[in-house]
Amino acid sequence: MNYENIYIEEENSIATITINRPKKLNALNKRTIEELHTAFNELEEDQGIKVIVITGSGEKAFVAGADISEFAHFSVKQARELAAEGQKLLFDFVEGMTTPVIAAINGFALGGGLELAMACHFRLASDNAKMGLPEVSLGVIPGYGGTQRLPQLIGKGRAIEMIMTASMIDAEKALGFGLVNYVVPQEELLPLSLKIASRISNNSSVAIKYAINAVNAGFKYDVNGYVIEIDAFGSCFGTNDFKEGTSAFLEKRKADFPGS
């Protein structure tokens, strides 16, 4: 696919996706969501890619929100379809991926931008980043999972205050809330993201996939996460990665995981 609004770089089993709509502060329109879905889907199926980092172009914004001009005149039915399709194509899709996805928040992450970052497995932020869900100031609510993921990450009280006030928080407050794992100067954001991605890529991709599924299960109301963990733990014992990992440990050498 020829991408119009994103570009991808690959090096050392790590793919970096950059959302590239700087004049729109990287706002998510329909085409960008479709392009991101295609890119994530292809990278998920690529056995050579162990970790994905997603960021925005420039130094102002990760994603400053959804492109309001696209849906300002939608009907109730169209709006429901927009939210449902977007969640399926991108936000739920990213959360369910078994290739780790790291959000490198390099500026504003508002509305759909924060929702995209929250769908990733974890987040890093530059010290100029600001995050928020301003939808109620427009007479609407978050529609791409924000009302669900934000409370999971920072707690109900803090989340509903952010949503009801439509307020932005800075990177340091996001760090204190547990919304992001690290805050660094802008120039250090991608290098640190890639350093962490490299550490992840050295481990068993098979075990990481099982771990992601087990952790995600704990946030589903109709699934017993402990049961999923037990099953996944047992399944690991039947993999070549487990055989290599334990052999390497006993032989006091670095593991070379086959990825199966």
Domain 6-201 CATH superfamily: 2-enoyl-CoA Hydratase; Chain A, domain 1 (3.90.226.10)
Q: Could you tell me where the DSSP H helices lie in the chain?
A: 30-45, 76-86, 92-96, 112-119, 146-154, 156-165, 171-177, 186-201, 205-217, 225-236, 240-250
116: left (phi over 0), alpha (psi -120 to 50) or beta: alpha
DSSP 8-state code for residue 107 = S
- Active-site residues, by number, are 115, 135
Instruction: Specify the pLDDT at position 207.
Output: 98
The contacts of residue 132 (CB under 8 Å, 6+ apart) are 110, 111, 114, 162, 166, 167, 168, 169
What's the average model confidence in pLDDT over 245-258? 96
**Residue 39, Cβ neighbours under 10 Å: how many?**
19
Q: Please tell me the distance from the alpha carbon of residue 107 to that of residue 127, in angstroms, as a whole number.
A: 8
Sign of CA dihedral 159, 114, 123, 131: negative
Q: Residue 143 carries which DSSP code?
A: -
Tokens read off for 129 = 């980043």
pLDDT tens digits along 6-60: 999 999 999 999 999 999 999 999 999 999 999 999 999 999 999 999 999 999 9
pLDDT exceeds cutoff 90 at 70: no
* 172-208: pLDDT as tens digits: 999 999 999 999 999 999 999 999 999 999 999 999 9
pLDDT for 74 equals 94
Mean pLDDT of 149-173: 98
Q: What is the 3-state secondary structure (H, E, C) of 207-231?
A: HHHHHHHHHHHCCCCCCCHHHHHHH
Which distant-in-sequence residues (6+ apart) come within 8 Å of 239 by Cβ?
204, 206, 207, 260
- Could you tell me which residue, 104 or 71, shows the higher pLDDT? 104
Residue 14's pLDDT is 98
140-145 contacts at long range (C-beta below 8 A, 24 or more positions apart): 142/111, 142/115, 143/79, 143/82, 143/83, 143/86, 143/87, 144/66, 144/83, 144/86, 144/87, 144/90, 144/91, 144/112, 144/115, 144/116, 145/87, 145/91, 145/92, 145/95, 145/115, 145/118, 145/119
Report percent pLDDT > 90 for the chain: 95
